[in-house]
Amino acid sequence: MGKITDTVKVLLIINVIFYLGSQFILTPGPAMQLFALWFVEHPSFQIWQPLTHMFMHDLGSPMHIIFNMYGLWMFGSAVEQSIGQKKFIFFYFSAGLGAALIHTLVNYYHFQSGFTALVEAGWNESQIFNLLEDAESQIRSLGRYQVDIPQGFDGEHIKPMISSYVTSAVGASGALYGILVGFGMMYPNAALGLLFIPVPIKAKYFIPALILLDLFSGLTGFSIFGQNIANWAHLGGALFGFIMMYYWKKNSFNDKRWY
């Protein structure tokens, strides 16, 4: 939370380049199609997207990248100073890729659950993908979708399937959650003075509370921070961050710093 470290500085610059490039070079549509993380069975999915989505942010809301980069600066530099540059790079990208993995697995579960239910009800594959393509077409033209839920189905059962297919994931939040967990494990008693909370809160209380909120939102679909938040990606980044930091602490990583 002091001087910005070299790796964090480079990550900040890359994120800003992706953000501005997506706005003014490729334009938002093609940029999101190429670099956001799409569902594995979506036509726009590419093998590089689990990596590149970490540098993309919501192009319609500058606060998305501002908050993520603020968190990266605030916590990332402290973590990098503690574990060293090479280890931090490994940690950051592993947490981000772990977030993409968990997000994709949860989406796959939702998609397959809805897909199987429709097949068992007599729908064929062509009908299902027509439903999905109709929803996606509405998103492109209206920014939202409203499809007729098949008769006999609970909307809350089919909507997660549609959302998994038509919604892409962007942002450094997964990697950031890994950093948050790492920071909390190294500095549990650090008092955090955050922009949206008037009193300092110790990391050992604030970070678990934030993760529990994401778990609650992921399980219930209700979020106090708004919609279109990839809660399971946050939880995936936090999980991978915890596993790595726990392993390093257990094996005395301070005696094995990578430089």
Cα separation, 25 vs 180, whole angstroms: 32
**Which residue ranges make up each domain of the chain?**
6-255
Residues 194, 200, 205, CA angle at the centre, nearest 5°? 95
Instruction: Please write down the HEC assignment for all residues of 24-63.
Output: HCCCHHHHHHHHCECCCCCCCCCCCHHHHHHHCCCCCCHH
Q: What is the pLDDT of residues 183-222, one digit of tens each?
A: 999 999 988 876 566 678 899 999 999 999 999 988 887 7
Mean pLDDT of the chain: 87
pLDDT-derived band of residue 258, with 50, 70 and 90 as boundaries? very low
Tens-place pLDDT, residues 173-185: 999 999 999 999 9
DSSP string, the chain: --SPPHHHHHHHHHHHHHHHHHHHTS-HHHHHHHHSB--TTSTT--TTHHHHGGG---TT-HHHHHHHHHHIIIIIHHHHHHH-HHHHHHHHHHHHHHHHHHHHHHHHHHHHHHHHHHHHTT--HHHHHHHHHHHHHHHHHHSS---PPPTTS-HHHHHHHHHHHH--B--SHHHHHHHHHHHHHH-TTPEE--TT-SS-EEHHHHHHHHHHHHHHHHHHS--TT-SS--HHHHHHHHHHHHHHHHHHHHTTGGGS---
For tokens 């994120």, the residue is 15
Enter the pTM of the model. Answer: 0.88
Non-local CB neighbours of 148 within 8 Å, separated by 6+ positions: none
**Which of 15, 164, 26 has the alpha carbon at shortest distance from 104?**
164
Cβ partners under 8 Å of residue 245, min gap 6: 91, 181, 182, 185, 186
CA distances to 48, 74, 186, 187 from 12, rounded to whole Å, are 20, 12, 23, 23
- Give the pLDDT band (50/70/90) at residue 259: very low
Per-residue pLDDT of 73-118, as tens digits, reads 999 999 999 999 999 999 999 999 999 999 999 999 999 998 988 8
Say whether domain 6-255 belongs to CATH 3.40.50.2300.
no
Give me the mean pLDDT over the 152-179 stretch.
86
Tokens of 180: 């948050």
